C-alpha cells in the first residue's frame, strides 16, 4: 500500500490541479487545495499566505498563475521554495510550459533547491478549447487566431494530471524533466475542424496576423499584461518549430499512449460545453 502523504496542490481548482486532487484522493492521500478561496487560502499575490498553506505538507504540486514567463514569477517561485524548505516539504513537482525559455529560470530554482523534484513541461492544453480562452470563439463559430502554420502538439489535462501524480508518488521520477504532448501535432485550423466534426457544428477558422490579434484582444478589454503574455506564447512558443515536436514522455511515465485530440473532442462534445448559447461578451 502507498504511504500516505500530505500534499498541497497549488492551483487545485484549475484545469490540471483539480484532476490531480481527484487522483490523489483516490489514492487515499491527504490533499490540501491551494486556492484563494480555501482555508488556509493561497494567493500568489500575497506571499504572507504561502507559509500557512505549506505548513505540515510533505509534497507540493506547483501551478503558477498566470505563467512562469511573466515578470515576478521567478521571485515568487524563489520565495515559495524557501518557505517550502523551512516548513519541511520534501518534494516539489512544477508545472511548466514546453518551449518556454523564460520559464526555465523558475525551473532551475526548483531543480537547485535541494528538494526532491520533477519538472513537467506541458504543451498547450486541449482544454483551452473547452475551459479557457478559445471557448468563446468556438461558441461564436468563428475562431480567429494567429500562427496558422504552427503545428501544435496539444496535450490533455487528464494526461498531465496522471503524469504529475505519478511524479508525486513515485521516487523514480525524482530529478527528471518530462515534456508532454499529444500523439499528433495540429494546426489551429485542423483542431477547429476536428471540433466541428465532433460537434456537428459549422466552425470557421480565420488566420490573422499577431498584430491584428493583439488589437482584437485590446478591443475586447484584455489587460495589457495578458496581451503581452499571449503575444509571447504565440510568437515564442508556437512560432518556434522546435516546439512542434511530439514526445513520448506520457507513454514513458504512464505506460500508455497520450490521449489523442480526437478522443478529447468526442468526450468533450458529449458534455454540451460547445453547444451553450453565446455569451453576451462575444
Ligand X SMILES: NC(=O)c1ccc[n+]([C@@H]2O[C@H](COP(=O)([O-])OP(=O)(O)OC[C@H]3O[C@@H](n4cnc5c(N)ncnc54)[C@H](OP(=O)(O)O)[C@@H]3O)[C@@H](O)[C@H]2O)c1
Q: Which residues bind ligand X (CB under 6 A)?
A: 11, 13-17, 35-37, 42-45, 63-68, 95, 97, 122, 124-125, 128
| Rounded Cα gap, residues 169 and 31, in angstroms | 13
Q: Which three cell numbers, joined as nine digits, stand for 268?
A: 468533450
14 vs 146, which CB is nearer to ligand X?
A: 14
| Rounded Cα gap, residues 138 and 131, in angstroms | 11
1 vs 126, which CB is nearer to ligand X?
A: 126
Task: Write down the least CB distance from residue 202 to ligand X, Å.
Answer: 26
How many CB atoms are located within 10 Å of the residue 90 CB?
A: 14
Q: Which three cell numbers, joined as nine digits, stand for 267?
A: 468526450
Task: Write down the least CB distance from residue 79 to ligand X, Å.
Answer: 13
The C-alpha angle with vertex 97 and arms to 96 and 103, in degrees rounded to 5, equals 70
Instruction: List alpha helices for the chain, DSSP H.
Output: 17-26, 50-54, 73-86, 104-111, 128-131, 135-140, 157-169, 188-199, 210-219, 224-232, 249-254, 261-271
Tell me: cis bond preceding 240? Omega within 30 of 0 counts. Answer: no
Task: Write down the least CB distance from residue 83 to ligand X, Å.
Answer: 15
- Residue 61 pairs with which residues in a beta bridge? 9, 93
| Rounded Cα gap, residues 245 and 49, in angstroms | 39
Q: Which three cell numbers, joined as nine digits, stand for 117?
A: 523534484
Task: Write down the least CB distance from residue 5 to ligand X, Å.
Answer: 21
- Residue 31 pairs with which residues in a beta bridge? 7
171 vs 223, which CB is nearer to ligand X?
A: 223
Residue of closest CB approach to ligand X: 14
**Whether 131 contacts 97, CB under 8 Å:** no
Task: Write down the least CB distance from residue 21 to ligand X, Å.
Answer: 10
Task: Write down the least CB distance from residue 120 to ligand X, Å.
Answer: 9
112 vs 132, which CB is nearer to ligand X?
A: 132
48 vs 277, which CB is nearer to ligand X?
A: 48
164 vs 203, which CB is nearer to ligand X?
A: 164
In this structure, is the dihedral angle defined by the CA atoms of residues 210, 212, 216 and 219, taken in order, positive or negative?
Answer: positive
Write a three-state SS string for 196-213.
HHHHCCCCEEEECCHHHH
4 vs 101, which CB is nearer to ligand X?
A: 101
Task: Write down the least CB distance from residue 14 to ligand X, Å.
Answer: 2
Task: Write down the least CB distance from residue 185 to ligand X, Å.
Answer: 14
**Whether 208 contacts 144, CB under 8 Å:** yes
Q: Which three cell numbers, joined as nine digits, stand for 172?
A: 523514480
156 vs 166, which CB is nearer to ligand X?
A: 156
Amino acid at each position: 500500500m502507498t504511504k500516505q502523504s500530505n500534499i498541497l496542490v497549488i492551483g487545485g481548482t484549475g484545469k490540471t490541479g483539480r484532476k490531480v486532487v481527484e487522483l490523489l484522493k483516490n489514492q487515499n492521500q491527504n490533499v490540501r487545495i491551494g486556492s484563494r478561496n480555501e482555508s488556509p487560502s493561497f494567493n500568489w499575490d500575497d506571499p504572507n499566505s504561502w507559509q500557512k498553506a505549506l505548513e505540515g505538507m510533505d509534497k507540493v504540486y506547483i501551478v503558477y498563475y498566470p505563467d512562469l514567463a511573466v515578470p515576478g514569477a521567478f521571485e515568487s517561485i524563489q520565495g515559495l521554495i524557501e518557505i517550502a524548505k523551512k516548513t519541511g516539504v520534501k518534494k516539489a513537482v512544477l508545472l511548466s510550459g514546453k518551449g518556454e525559455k523564460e520559464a526555465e529560470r523558475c525551473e532551475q530554482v526548483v531543480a537547485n533547491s535541494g528538494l526532491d523534484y520533477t519538472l513537467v513541461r506541458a504543451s498547450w492544453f486541449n482544454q483551452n478549447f473547452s475551459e479557457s480562452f478559445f471557448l468563446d470563439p468556438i461558441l461564436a463559430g468563428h475562431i480567429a487566431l494567429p500562427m496558422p502554420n504552427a503545428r501544435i502538439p496539444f496535450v490533455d489535462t487528464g494526461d498531465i494530471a496522471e503524469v504529475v501524480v505519478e511524479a508525486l508518488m513515485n521516487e523514480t521520477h525524482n530529478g527528471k524533466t518530462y515534456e508532454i504532448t499529444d500523439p499528433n501535432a495540429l494546426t489551429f485550423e485542423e483542431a477547429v475542424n476536428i471540433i466541428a466534426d465532433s460537434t456537428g457544428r459549422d466552425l470557421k477558422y480565420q488566420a490573422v496576423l499577431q498584430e491584428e490579434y493583439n488589437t482584437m484582444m485590446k478591443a475586447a478589454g484584455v489587460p495589457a499584461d495578458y496581451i503581452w503574455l499571449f503575444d509571447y506564447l504565440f510568437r515564442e512558443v508556437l512560432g518556434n518549430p522546435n516546439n512542434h515536436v511530439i514526445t513520448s514522455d506520457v507513454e514513458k511515465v504512464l505506460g500508455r499512449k497520450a490521449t489523442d485530440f480526437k478522443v478529447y473532442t468526442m468526450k468533450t462534445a458529449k458534455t454540451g460545453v460547445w453547444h451553450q448559447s453565446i455569451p453576451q461578451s462575444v
